[in-house]
């Protein structure tokens, strides 16, 4: 993620939330390389298809994604944060209604 994008996120959502969003974006960008063998299916950590050092990295990345998502869900449950999220992504919400 570009530095300008990171600064924009921090200005809009605040330091804590933006840091989590940036961390999640980083983990998601690594997912295909780290957590899959074929580029599309997540490989179990116990799989023989993953090398030993890649298993550890895959486990760390998956755990980071889980923790980031849980924290972000808690943050965006707050009414003021949910309103801010809806405001910032209103075009995406209109394009993809529930």
What is residue 43's DSSP assignment?
Answer: P
The residue range of the domain holding 61 is 3-95
Nearest to 26 by CA among 61, 70, 71, 54: 61
Nearest to 14 by CA among 72, 96, 58: 72
Across the range 38-53, mean pLDDT stands at 83
pLDDT number for residue 37:
81
Q: Report the share of the chain in percent with pLDDT over 70.
A: 98
Across the range 37-47, mean pLDDT stands at 82
pLDDT number for residue 98:
66
Domain count for the chain: 1
28: number of Cβ within 10 Å: 13
Question: Per-residue pLDDT for 92 more than 80?
Answer: no
């Amino acid at each position: 993620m570009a530095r300008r994008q990171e600064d924009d996120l921090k200005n809009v959502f605040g330091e804590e939330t933006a840091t989590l969003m940036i961390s999640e974006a980083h983990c998601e960008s690594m997912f295909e390389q780290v957590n899959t063998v074929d580029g599309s299916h997540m490989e179990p950590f116990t799989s023989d298809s993953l090398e030993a050092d890649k298993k550890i990295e895959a486990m760390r990345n998956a755990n980071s994604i889980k923790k980031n998502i849980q924290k972000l869900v808690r943050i965006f449950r707050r009414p003021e944060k949910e309103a801010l999220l809806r405001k910032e992504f209103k075009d995406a919400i209109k394009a993809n209604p529930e």
